[in-house]
Amino acid sequence: MTHPPLVEARNLSVEFHMRRGLFSRGPAPVVQAVRNMNLSIQRGETLALVGESGCGKSTLGRAMIRTAPIAHGELIFDGKDITTLAGETLRRARSRFQMIFQDPYSSLNPKARIFDTLAEPLRVHTSESTAQIRTKVSEMLEAVGLDPTFAARYPHEFSGGQRQRIAIARAVIVQPDFIVADEPLSALDVSMQLQILKLFDDLRDRFSLTYLFISHDLARVFSFADRVAVMYLGKLVEIGTAAEITTNPRHPYTKALLAAAPSPDPTIEADREVPMLSGDIPSPAFPPPGCRFHTRCPIAMEMCKRIDPEMTHFGNSHMAACHAAAPGLSHLNTPEPEKDLLP
Amino acid sequence: MSVLRRLIPGKRDMLGTIGAGILLFVALGAVLAPMIAPYDPTAISLLDRMQPPMWLEGGSLAHPLGTDNLGRDMLSRVIYGSRISLAVGVAAVIVGAAIGSTIGIVAGYFGGWVDSILSVVINAQLSFPFILLAIFILSTFGGGFWPVVLVLALGAWVNYARVVRGTVMSVRTQDYVHAAISVGVPTLRLLRTTVLPNTLSPIIVVASFSMAQAILAEAALSFLGVGVDGANPSWGVMLNDGRAYLQTAWWLTAMPGLAIAITVLGGNLCGDWLQDRFNPRIGN
Amino acid sequence: MTAPILDIDDLKVAFSQGGRTIHAVRGVSLTLAPGEVVGVVGESGSGKSVAMMSVARLLDEKQATITAARLDLDGHPILGMKQRQLEKLRGPTVSYVFQDPLSSLNPVLTVGRQISEGLRRHRGMSRTEAKDAAIELLRQVGIPAPELRVNQHPHEASGGMRQRMMIAMALALRPKLLIADEPTTALDVTVQADIIRLIQQIQRDIGMAMIWVTHDLALLARVAKRIVVMYGGRIVEDAPSSRLYSAPAHPYTRGLLDSTSRFDVSFREQTPIPGTPPDPSLPITACAFAPRCARATDICRTKIPTLDQCGGGQSVACFHPLIGSAS
């Protein structure tokens, strides 16, 4: 990759301080929602970030647009370190990175007309006249497939899919470079999900956008993304091109995610074996030692309980963090036959 | 299992309408007083003094609610009295709501030490007997319209601050607030355009209740002699004036007392109804 | 032929809301044999949840008006029944599992208390007997250390655990019919598979009939032998799953199938259903799907299609079905 990335997280950690219990002693527990994250996104690229609830994917997304507190590490945006940007400079920089939220029922101000919701970003970032803003709002509504006359209405008059279109319009109207979309499909019905995904695809080309697309549904987003990153309990466990991840997954968690997705075909479903992960996801406040996945991992080894695996390269920018998958370490899992001593 | 929350039953709506109707009726009376009051409320006519209401023996149609110890027409005095009582109520509500909501928004939105300090102040204020404080202030610095309004606002702002603080704390966790922040809306603007409009409903509910409370408190203060004095008496002043004649001419206190009771009832009914209306309902 | 466990004929449910009338269910007929597993699929607003909640009269009847030519649960006419009689049916005859276990469980009571309540009331068990039974149920639904869990409150458990508790509660009285309304939607994908397997296994063990309500057709492929598709408060297709997935008759079913997320098809090759679902407050005088349908003609915009057989146990409410002839 010759171009510098548009967004880059370097050893990024996000921590939350929990409230101490009324009668408990000792310091308040600290939750590392995101731990030592290294992630870079190229201009024009779409990176899908998948994982289950509590894995820290939303927190990472918020940190990457500077709305979650960064505890350690750096965040580079378009060549500039924006980790410690604050006050008015940060506020002005915000027009370049935007966020789209999961629940379109809570992400739109119920007391504001659609026009005001869409005009607000323009008013605070540009000095355009009311007439210019009006034109832009109309154009934007059309761009997201809505009637420009909807501007005069309130959010409660719209369906979930329409609201999500409005939320998307609000994010795109300031012409940002980078958009974090936090589960923008999961609150929608199946038929709406595809409609909205197609809208994201359309806008990506029209406004040359870069997406961090957060989802728990790998099947829905793999074909939409250039690369896929898989997170588990605050850490990246695997990253690679969408094709690599879906056809040649290395991490047992990625494999489980792929296998868990049902197929709309009873004949396939009748004999499909769903590999079961034991138990639930542990609390991010008390992650297991060693590899964080070992408590649910079907192929966990002794060392997984002690040593946290490093990211290992598998070629083509495909990386995974698993002792069992790492090529050099496989002998720890299954004893390999003695190597020939012949030269 | 509350799956589909019930809507407001019709009875509540009716009571609310009655409450709003009462308030509207009283407000109209206050505004139109010069047109509808049969007499000048301050016109003394010693010949007609202490006439009972028309339905009692000795009463006449000329003075439907009777006259007071100086022969002034009670009906006219009750109608004019509503002007002061309502004006005090409305002004106290506006001043109290402005102070209380601002403080509540700041405390609820910023949290942290700002919130801690304000919470201490709110709790201290709530634990202090308000009427004593009011008497102390008014008797030290003197009564009058504005002093009474300010003292009542001083008593009422905590109600707004408490409710608004709580509402803002939940509003600020909503995604539309996060969205506004990530869009780059400056904080003050955010509070004004996004947070405040979503806090308005509870403010209106509190205003409705505290309007009734202010009218009551004004009456109490005036009755104790530290309230609003002036040519046009408030209902509270009338209560005080009539106190000496409770045995001989009960209507001197009963008429303004009834007016207060009805108005307060109207405010409370209205507040109850608004509270139900604005309660978040689970949509389908 | 055995008597059906559930027999619904022309069920209609309307809500009055701020002067408007919401027609959530506009005439649903459905018969379920004992032990049968049916999937009910539809978008939000299709009336699927409301229709299913009418079965045990769980809707708030201050707002909801339920009418039906017949609404029989295990031979008992449900409409017109007194609350006390209904309570006898809820639990042993019909039981529910909802999407959000946290709002369905009582936060101030221990898990054991909530599970044993039904056992004590309907089975006359003693406190200790009921608690032992609750522990056994928790064990059956795969909760580790049930002896400890039984004394805990719902908030002490994770989402997956809570849903298991909810299932244990629903199954405590071995109901003849279980209605599961999006039981796995709030769960993570890897936990979801586990819960589905659990419900399926228990269904087979008890031999109970089951209605599985969801918006995701892909999920039903594994669990249901027969699928009912709802749109605009009506059933638009009713078919064995062996037919429905391979040869859907209704264009809406086709659209739903084309919209499901899957690994073997790129989103670029998928065609979404255009437009938005119908407004439930408006009267329907034609095919509700016509405005979003590519096959719609004049008749679709003027007449309401009826649900008719089109062979192979498949019924469809469409003037231009994708297969066979529904004339």
| 3-class secondary-structure state, position A209 | coil
Cβ contact A124–B194 (<8 Å): no
**Residue C59 above 80 pLDDT?**
yes
Pick from B2, B3, B9: CB nearest C53: B3
**C327 DSSP assignment:** -
Q: Is B179 on the interface with A (CB under 8 A)?
A: yes
**Count: domains in chain B:** 1
Give the pLDDT score at C106: 86
- Which residues sit opposite A46 in a β-bridge? A211
B260 occurs within a structural domain: yes
* pLDDT tens figures, C80-131: 899 889 988 988 999 999 887 777 888 888 989 999 888 898 888 999 999 9
| Domains of chain A by residue range | 254-328
Q: What is the CATH number of the domain that holds B160?
A: 1.10.3720.10
Q: Is A110 on the interface with B (CB under 8 A)?
A: yes
pLDDT grade for C235, boundaries at 50, 70 and 90: very high
* Residue C278 domain boundaries: 227-238+247-327
Give the pLDDT score at B12: 62
pLDDT grade for B15, boundaries at 50, 70 and 90: confident
Give the pLDDT score at A265: 86
Q: What percent of chain B has pLDDT over 70?
A: 92
**CB-CB contact of A179 with A209 (8 Å):** yes
Token representation of residue A76: 């580079």
**Amino acid at position A85, single letter:** L
| 3-class secondary-structure state, position C76 | strand
| ipTM at complex level | 0.86
B7 occurs within a structural domain: no
* pLDDT tens figures, C4-33: 999 999 999 999 877 788 999 999 999 999
**Residue C304 above 90 pLDDT?**
yes
Chain position carrying tokens 């005080």: B240
> If phi over 0 gives left and psi between -120 and 50 gives alpha, with beta otherwise, what is residue C188?
beta
Strands C209-214 and C177-181: parallel
Give the pLDDT score at A25: 65
Residue C24: its chain B contacts at CB < 8 A?
Answer: 284
Cβ contact A190–C197 (<8 Å): no
User: Helix/strand/coil (H, E, C) string of C259-321?
Assistant: HCCCCCCCHHHCCCCCCCCCCCCCCCCCCCCHHHCCCCCHHHHCCCCCCEECCCCCEECCCCC
* Residue B87 domain boundaries: 16-278
Pick from A91, A95, A109: CB nearest B194: A109
**Count: domains in chain C:** 1
Chain position carrying tokens 């032998």: C225
C125 occurs within a structural domain: no
Q: How far is CA C174 from CA B56, C77, C96, C178, C198, in A?
A: 75, 21, 12, 9, 15
DSSP per-residue letters across C187-249: S-HHHHHHHHHHHHHHHHHHT-EEEEEES-HHHHHHH-SEEEEEETTEEEEEEEHHHHTTS--
Token representation of residue C284: 């329907």
Q: Which helix (H) or strand (E) holds C99?
A: none
**Residue C68 above 80 pLDDT?**
yes
CA A68-A71-A74 angle, 5° bins: 90
* pLDDT tens figures, B66-77: 888 888 888 888
**A285 DSSP assignment:** T
C309 occurs within a structural domain: yes
Cβ contact A280–C161 (<8 Å): yes
**Residue B83 above 90 pLDDT?**
no
Residue C98: its chain B contacts at CB < 8 A?
Answer: 1, 3
C288 occurs within a structural domain: yes
Q: Is C45 on the interface with B (CB under 8 A)?
A: yes
C208 occurs within a structural domain: no
Q: Is B176 on the interface with A (CB under 8 A)?
A: yes
* pLDDT tens figures, C249-302: 999 999 999 999 888 889 999 999 999 888 888 888 899 999 999 999 999 999
pLDDT grade for B282, boundaries at 50, 70 and 90: very low
Give the pLDDT score at B272: 82
C233 occurs within a structural domain: yes
Q: How far is CA B166 from CA B117, B132, B206, B268, B273, in A?
A: 15, 28, 13, 22, 20
Give the pLDDT score at A227: 96
Q: Is C326 on the interface with B (CB under 8 A)?
A: no
* pLDDT tens figures, B123-176: 888 888 888 888 888 888 887 888 889 999 988 899 999 999 999 999 998 999
Successive 10-residue mean pLDDT values, chain A, 343 residues = 86 84 67 92 96 89 94 94 92 94 92 94 92 96 96 92 96 96 92 94 96 93 95 94 93 90 84 74 85 91 92 90 74 43 42
Cβ contact A94–B183 (<8 Å): yes
Give the pLDDT score at A24: 63
pTM above 0.80, yes or no: yes
CA C237-C239-C243 angle, 5° bins: 120
pLDDT grade for C157, boundaries at 50, 70 and 90: confident
Q: Is B281 on the interface with A (CB under 8 A)?
A: no
B215 occurs within a structural domain: yes
B196 occurs within a structural domain: yes
C286 occurs within a structural domain: yes
Residue A215 makes CB contacts below 8 A (sequence gap 6+) with A48, A49, A50, A183, A185, A186, A221
Give the pLDDT score at A253: 93
Pick from A102, A106, A156: CB nearest B176: A106
Most confident option among A9-13, B22-26, B273-277, B278-282: A9-13
Give the pLDDT score at A342: 42
Give the pLDDT score at A161: 92
Backbone φ, ψ for residue C251 (5° rounding): -60, -30
B5 occurs within a structural domain: no
Mean pLDDT over each residue of chain B, to the nearest integer: 84
DSSP per-residue letters across chain B: --SS-----HHHHHHHHHHHHHHHHHHHHHHTHHHH-SS-TT---GGGTTPPPTTSTT--TTSTT-B-TT--BHHHHHHHHHHHHHHHHHHHHHHHHHHHHHHHHHHHHH-HHHHHHHHHHHHHHHHS-HHHHHHHHHHHH--SHHHHHHHHHHHHHHHHHHHHHHHHHHHTTSHHHHHHHHHT--HHHHIIIIIGGGTHHHHHHHHHHHHHHHHHHHHHHHHTT-S--SSS--HHHHHHHHGGGTTT-THHHHHHHHHHHHHHHHHHHHHHHHHHHHS-----
* pLDDT tens figures, C28-58: 999 999 999 999 999 888 999 999 999 989 8
